[in-house]
């Protein structure tokens, strides 16, 4: 008998109670039962988003929510700034470029912090408000870098550019304060820190973003937020939603809100620390050096020189049942990534480090068994 540990930055394991909710009977999405459900989960989601803005549930992958965040607010020809330091930041820019935005790249090396100074300069120089939007990813799961959205918000000051923020792999696990940080459009997916399977995505829209949308000339149909609003006003979605995930969402939100957001933030912070300490204990190099910039949901670790990532992943998967992620794009041969978010626990982290140690030893690396686990244990023991 093998137990499987899904330690990738999403999709994440789903708790048993939520899996059970997925098995609910299917019912009419244009009837009173669905109306009660969607109104309930929408209000609860707003608490997790820390917002009183409008908020919508979309039946799509996270990337569909990224597209929704672009096509409803950015007209062809609009100048937008893409702040990026990884694969998902680049994806957001690519979506805007696909839909004919005039995208100005403010890109840093993958694994380096965002270039906040360059952003500030560009905004300061833009006296006539040509820049219509700033596109930025909160948690760059391709590198394990957490970007500072509050700082981006402060740098924007009174510039009219919309902040369109991808929080797919952060919201729920780390503070995302949509109203306090003035995030005009905030989007996330179901399959990361929100304890759900993939299939749904969520997006919040503030008044300023609604105003911009009124004049947006981009064609939009399935991802139309105006349609989403018109239907939510009568307790529906414009198109048939992924009902099992919506039912499960209620269970997940009740679970999250019962313990409170802070409980989840603390838990993810501890897991991040334990993985980082374990890597240090093993003498492995972290891609993101500063803990302050480190993702609390995924950690990227550089591989030992003499080991191939595909061999490490195969051995961990096949012998120990632990699935970790490789690198993406230009880092695919250099790093491996451990996801520690959602229903993953600190004990799963210990198991993963143990499997990592055994696999490294078997592949010929000169690490000491226990040298990573023991460091992770020291962190885990601090939990109250």
Cβ at position 66, least distance to a copy of itself in Å: 8
Angle at 223 between CA 221 and CA 226, to 5 degrees: 80
Which region among 7-15, 37-45, 254-262, 368-376 touches a copy of itself (by CB under 8 A)? 7-15
Cα radius of gyration (the chain): 21
One of 75, 79, 94, 160 touching a copy of itself (CB under 8 A):
94
Question: 207-236 mask for a copy of itself (x: CB under 8 A)?
Answer: ------------xxxxx-------------
The CA distance from 346 to 58, in Å, is 31
Please give the residues from 308 up to 327 whose contact with a copy of itself meets the rule CB under 8 A.
317, 323, 325
Angle at 13 between CA 176 and CA 371, to 5 degrees: 90
Is residue 172 near a copy of itself by the rule CB under 8 A? Answer: no
The CA distance from 171 to 352, in Å, is 24
Which residue's CB is nearer to a copy of itself, number 64 or number 144? 64
Cβ at position 313, least distance to a copy of itself in Å: 9
Which region among 20-28, 159-167, 278-286, 374-382 touches a copy of itself (by CB under 8 A)? 20-28
Q: In which element (H, E) is residue 231 found?
A: helix 225-232
Please give the residues from 274 up to 293 whose contact with a copy of itself meets the rule CB under 8 A.
none
The rounded Cα 186 to chain-centroid distance in angstroms is 11
- Find the DSSP H helices in 233-308: 243-259, 261-281
Which residue's CB is nearer to a copy of itself, number 137 or number 379? 137
- Quickly count: other Cβ atoms within 10 Å of residue 164's Cβ: 26
Cβ at position 60, least distance to a copy of itself in Å: 6
Please give the residues from 48 up to 87 whose contact with a copy of itself meets the rule CB under 8 A.
59-64, 66-67
One of 144, 198, 235, 372 touching a copy of itself (CB under 8 A):
198
Q: Take residue 238 and report the two structure tokens written for it.
A: 């414009």
Cα dihedral 136→142→143→144 (10° resolution): 80
One of 43, 180, 207, 239 touching a copy of itself (CB under 8 A):
239
Q: Residue 23, by phi and psi: left (phi above 0), alpha (psi -120 to 50) or beta?
A: alpha
Is residue 197 near a copy of itself by the rule CB under 8 A? Answer: yes
């Amino acid at each position: 008998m093998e137990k499987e540990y899904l330690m990738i930055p999403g999709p994440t394991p789903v708790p048993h109670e939520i899996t059970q909710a997925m098995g609910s009977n299917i019912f009419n999405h244009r009837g009173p039962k669905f109306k009660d459900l969607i109104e309930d989960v929408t209000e609860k989601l707003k608490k997790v988003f820390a917002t009183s803005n409008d908020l919508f549930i979309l039946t799509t992958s996270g990337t569909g929510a990224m597209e929704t965040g672009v096509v409803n607010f950015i007209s062809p020809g609009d100048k937008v700034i893409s702040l990026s330091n990884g694969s998902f930041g680049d994806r957001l820019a690519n979506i805007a470029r696909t839909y004919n935005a005039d995208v100005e790249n403010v890109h840093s090396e993958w694994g380096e912090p965002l270039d906040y100074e360059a952003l500030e300069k560009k905004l300061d120089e833009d006296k006539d408000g040509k820049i219509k939007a700033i596109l930025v990813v909160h948690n760059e799961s391709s590198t394990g870098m957490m970007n500072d959205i509050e700082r981006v918000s402060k740098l924007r000051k009174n510039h009219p550019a919309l902040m369109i923020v991808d929080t797919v792999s952060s919201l729920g696990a780390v503070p995302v304060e949509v109203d306090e940080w003035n995030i005009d459009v905030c989007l996330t997916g179901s399959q990361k820190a929100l304890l759900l399977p993939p299939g749904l995505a969520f997006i919040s829209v503030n008044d300023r973003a609604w105003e911009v949308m009124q004049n947006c000339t981009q064609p939009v149909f399935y991802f139309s937020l105006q349609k989403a609003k018109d239907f939510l006003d009568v307790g529906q979605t414009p198109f048939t939603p992924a009902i099992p995930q919506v039912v499960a969402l209620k269970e997940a939100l009740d679970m999250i809100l019962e313990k409170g957001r802070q409980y989840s933030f603390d838990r993810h912070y501890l897991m991040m620390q334990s993985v980082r300490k374990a890597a240090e204990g093993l003498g492995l190099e972290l891609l993101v050096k500063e803990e302050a910039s480190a993702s609390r949901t995924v950690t990227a670790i550089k591989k030992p020189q003499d080991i191939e990532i595909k061999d490490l992943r195969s051995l961990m998967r096949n012998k120990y049942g632990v699935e970790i992620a490789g690198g993406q794009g230009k880092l695919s041969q250099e790093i491996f990534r451990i996801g520690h978010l959602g229903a993953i626990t600190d004990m799963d982290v210990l198991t993963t480090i143990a499997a990592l140690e055994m696999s490294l030893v078997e592949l010929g690396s000169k690490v000491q068994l226990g040298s990573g686990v023991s460091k992770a244990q020291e962190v885990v023991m601090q939990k109250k």
